[in-house]
Chains A and B, each alone.
Chain A
Amino acid sequence: MLSNELHNDEYQHYKYLLKQSYWAGGVGIILMIISYLPMIPTIHTQQGQIIWTVLGILSFGILIYSAHDIYTGAWEALKTHVANMDTLITMGTGVAWLFSMGVTIFPNVLPENAREVYFEAALIIIAFIKFGAALEVRTRGKTKETIQKLIGLRPKTARVVRHGNEMDIDLQELVVGDVIRVRPGEKISVDGVIIDGHSSIDQSMLTGEPIPVEKTIHDKVVGGTVNKTGTFLFRATGIGNDTVLARIIDMVNRAQNSKPALARLADVVSSFFVPAVIVIAIITALLWFNIGPDPKLAYMSVTFATVLLIACPCALGLAAPLSIMAGVGKAAEFGVLIRNGEALQKTRHLTTIVFDKTGTITEGKPRVSKIMAIAPWKENDILHFAASIEQGSEHSLAEAILIVAKDKGLKLQSSKEFRAFPGFGLSATVNGKNVLLGNMKLMTQQNISSVEFIAQAEKLFEQGQTVVYLAVDSKPAGLIAISDTIKPEAKSAIERLHKLGLKTLMLSGDHKKAALFIAQQAGIKEVMADVLPAEKSAKIIELQTRNEIVGMVGDGINDAPALAQADVGFAIGAGTDVAIESADLILMGNSLHGVVDAILVSHATIRNVKQNLFGAFIYNVLGIPVAGGILYPLFGLLLNPIMAGAAMALSSLTVVLNANRLRLFKVYRG
């Protein structure tokens, strides 16, 4: 079981660490028992001296077996002017062993009450440290679980159709343009577009959304997702490192290894930590020597070793990275990709969440709900002009108009002198007539009287519909109402945000009334309507000057400037390139619950980082003086080097275990 969790090399290392620990611990305990046996002579006798010298040499052998890597590490580090954990352990156990050997060979140098040996202490300390390291290897494997799961999503082979033959080939041999067959229950190998067949596809590992998605010809499929029922053929468009899954793995990997600002202090401290601890240990030893009680040399050696052994820069250095790793992994499980530790830290401070309307609050699948014509024009004329002018446009409203025109079997004409007015509309010549299609602002700008439109439009706005006006030869000709439904989960997700005490706001380029209607349905109280795409980021700045910490949720492409301006940008959209590049957080699923989940994960993770950092700081700040004997004058309390070693091993393990608690974090979407 464990060998499955860890990479083979890591598993071997884990077993080796345990073996080193058992040997050191076993021999250490035997030595401890021997020292209490009445029949074993003490070092005060010649016979005892011989026995303890032999035991000392034996312990040296075991120390070399169990801790040779630590000692080599300390030596190599010293040569390159670096001091690390190995330095502290080497000095601590080295002093314990050397002092004991000195006492055994030259007992008369020291007063009788100082003639103690610490061979067993050195061994048991190493046993604790190695056992702690083994557990760390094991638990760390678990914090990396998410990335392993993501990597595990990649199938190894794909069934390719080449020259009419179907064959299973290795994924590395695939090329862009290959046609691949996917059968029920199979994983989709790479990114592509369906060219034949249809099926429902389980994208939950990428999006966190459990319901399979129906896909048919022309729909995109993402490598790593699972085909449920149908069989289909798709053409590969992205392979190797150029797939959505590869980019997700890369991003999660990078984010898991980045540090938030609050961890920088730990970095600064750990950079001079070890030499500082050695200096503190020497000062402690000198203090005990000069003002301590007798036997001075014994106290001096013991406190020196104890200070070195209790100090643990590891816990300090590990505190943030492990929690971040677990937190980013957890978010990925909910379908939320977090760019870096900084974004994770900022997310929890958000006070206002701004939503884009189309495609964010709404489904982003607009459909034409009404067409009105002003005489002499007829409804089909309006549709004909609008569809002709919108041909080739990728705007979602254009798509809705073109679908209806196609359904009605209208024959479209090509347009000339095409002009686009971003945020306003379009103009072109169709069939020799000047056609203008756009919002009220465009009509006003072009001095087109809008009296005929207004009464009709007002009613439509109140129902939350978007209205586009059409003018022919500078005269109003008609209007098209387009409606879009809000996402089913929008209301509950926004309710969750309100419960967390966050303010919500909707930005829209639409008419105020239409925007208000949608906002009301979603439960959003504040609306900024009639906003041009270019003005969106200015609105974010406006909120920021009111001391709001703003999160912007948009669909990634037209909202890019606003996403970048916001303190935290959430891009909706299952892995579009622009989204992955521009936002701090990416909601792989389209669900707005991802925003709330991300905020909750951010809170939990940063809380965890703080607990870890606090624990590690306090441990060292309290542990080092106690090991130095600060409690001795008051309570006669002095730590034993074995306890110091155990505490040190335990401190990094505690950090690892606490970070692992994040794996159990759950959200309730209500």
Chain B
Amino acid sequence: MSVGSLFINLSGLVLIILILWWFFFSKHRVDVMIGDKPIKILVKDGIYQPSSIQVPMGKEIKLHFVRQDGTPCAETVLFSKLNTSYQLPLNQNVEIIIPPQQPGEIEFTCQMGMYKGKLLVSKN
């Protein structure tokens, strides 16, 4: 095997490892809810910003979704665990109130599961 082909094969393998690590195993940035302030979540450029939010348990959580992304799949945000979903009209602030929760993860996604975010309900 020539140096060139060894390089290409190795690059491919490294790339596969990097992809698996980046998407499945690396740590995500987590934003923290401060006090009772509502959390503004921007739906823009194919993602929720912020997408990982630490929230306290046993407390009502107010989320303000603003959708600036015209892609049709972004128009609904689903909270599968809570069995609820909301329509997000373009460029409007939609307030979503999540009742107090037990510790754990609450995922929110678009209908296709391509836009993803989660609330990390923790004791502190």
Q: Interface residues, chain A, CB within 8 Å of chain B?
A: 7, 9-10, 13, 16-17, 69-70, 72-78, 80-86, 133, 136-137, 140, 253-254, 257-259, 267, 270-272, 274-275, 278-279, 282-283, 285-286, 289-290, 313-314, 316-318, 321, 340
Contact = CB atoms under 8 A, between A and B. Distances in A.
A84 B86 CA distance: 21
Contacts of B76: 257, 321
A355 to B, nearest CB: 29
Contact of B16 (A76, A77, A279): A279
B47 A82 contact: yes
Contact of B113 (A10, A258, A317): A317
Interface in B11-32: 12, 15-16, 19-20, 22-24, 26, 28-29
The 10 closest A-B pairs by CB, nearest first: A317-B112, A73-B46, A257-B85, A13-B70, A9-B90, A76-B45, A275-B23, A84-B114, A321-B111, A270-B113
Given A77-B47, A257-B85, A318-B73, A286 B12 contact: yes
Contacts of B112: 270, 313-314, 316-318, 321
A77 B46 contact: yes
Among the interface residues B24, B28, B72, B80, which one has the most CB atoms of the partner chain A within 10 A?
B72
Nearest to B77: A257
A9 B12 contact: no
Contacts of A86: 46
Interface in B40-96: 44-47, 49, 51-52, 69-73, 75-76, 78, 80, 83-87, 89-91
B9 interface: yes
Given A259-B80, A279-B19, A290 B5 contact: yes
Contacts of A267: 80, 113
A9 B23 contact: no
Contacts of A69: 45
B51 A82 contact: yes
Among the interface residues B9, B29, B73, which one has the most CB atoms of the partner chain A within 10 A?
B73
12 contacts: A10-B70, A81-B26, A82-B116, A137-B72, A254-B84, A267-B113, A270-B114, A272-B24, A274-B23, A279-B19, A289-B9, A321-B76
Q: Is the interface of B mostly helix, strand, loop or mixed?
A: mixed
Given A80-B52, A257-B86, A282-B15, 13 more contacts: A9-B91, A17-B70, A77-B47, A80-B49, A136-B72, A267-B113, A270-B112, A279-B19, A283-B12, A285-B12, A286-B8, A286-B9, A313-B114
Interface string B88-119: 01110000000000000000001111111000
A289 to B, nearest CB: 6
A258 B83 contact: yes
Contacts, number: 126
A116 B71 CA distance: 33
Contacts of A137: 70, 72
Contacts of A257: 76, 78, 85-87, 111
B72 A73 contact: no
Contacts of A78: 22
A318 B111 contact: yes
Contacts of B20: 275, 279
Given A73-B46, A76-B49, A133-B71, A10 B90 contact: yes
A316 B116 CA distance: 16
Contacts of A289: 5, 8-9
Nearest to B8: A289
Given A82-B51, A290-B5, A318-B111, A282 B46 contact: no
A85 to B, nearest CB: 6
A363 B67 CA distance: 49
Contacts of A258: 83, 85
A76 B47 contact: yes
Contact of A340 (B71, B83, B115): B83
A638 to B, nearest CB: 20
A314 B73 contact: yes
A81 B12 contact: no
A283 B51 contact: no
A9 to B, nearest CB: 4
A85 B19 contact: no
Contacts of A70: 46
B88 to A, nearest CB: 11
Given A10-B70, A275-B19, A84 B46 contact: yes
Among the interface residues A73, A74, A82, A270, which one has the most CB atoms of the partner chain B within 10 A?
A82
Nearest to A136: B72
A146 to B, nearest CB: 13
A313 B114 CA distance: 8
B119 to A, nearest CB: 15
Nearest to B89: A7
A253 B94 CA distance: 15
A7 B72 contact: no
B24 to A, nearest CB: 7
Contacts of A80: 28-29, 47, 49, 51-52
B72 A290 contact: no
Given A10-B90, A136-B72, A283 B16 contact: yes
Contacts of A290: 5, 9
Contacts of B115: 84
A81 B51 CA distance: 10
A317 B73 contact: yes
A278 B89 contact: no
A258 B83 CA distance: 7
